[in-house]
Amino acid sequence: GQNIDQPTEMTATEGAIVQINCTYQTSGFNGLFWYQQHAGEAPTFLSYNVLDGLEEKGRFSSFLSRSKGYSYLLLKELQMKDSASYLCAVRDGDYKLSFGAGTTVTVRA
């Protein structure tokens, strides 16, 4: 089976930076996705990493180290609207995604 671990909850202040870690142990690797899910809404696609390194998209960046089975999502200049659950998902070899349980980020004023 697949094992995707991420912290359950994180709290940060508006304007700060938060880093959400994701570690995985999978039988294969064919890419890692991050999604954002606001309460009661659809998960929305944030990023995709398949090669080692950092991908930057505005205030959000995602990093991958395949040798360490590790990724993080970095949220900069936090805004209240960033309060949401962040899901890490790994594609292990075919088309299926294995998801972590999600990290709930709370942004405080």
42 is written with which tokens?
């659809």
If one asks whether residue 43 binds other proteins (CB under 8 A), the answer comes out as yes
Contact with other proteins (CB under 8 A) among 16, 25, 45, 56: 45
15 versus 93: smaller Cβ distance to other proteins: 93
DSSP 39: T
38 versus 59: smaller Cβ distance to other proteins: 38
State the minimum distance, in angstroms, from the CB of residue 35 to other proteins. 8
Residue found under tokens 């950092």? 54
Contact with other proteins (CB under 8 A) among 22, 69, 100, 103: 100
Q: Which of residues 57-96 bind other proteins (CB under 8 A)?
A: 87, 89, 91, 93-96
* Interacting residues of 103 by C-beta distance below 8 A, sequence separation 6+: 6, 7, 8, 9, 10, 20, 85, 86, 88
Point out which residues pair with 35 in neighbouring strands. Answer: 45, 87
User: Distance of alpha carbon 13 from its chain centroid, rounded?
Assistant: 19
DSSP 40: T
Contacting positions for other proteins (CB under 8 A): 4, 8, 30-31, 33, 35, 40-45, 48, 50, 87, 89, 91, 93-102
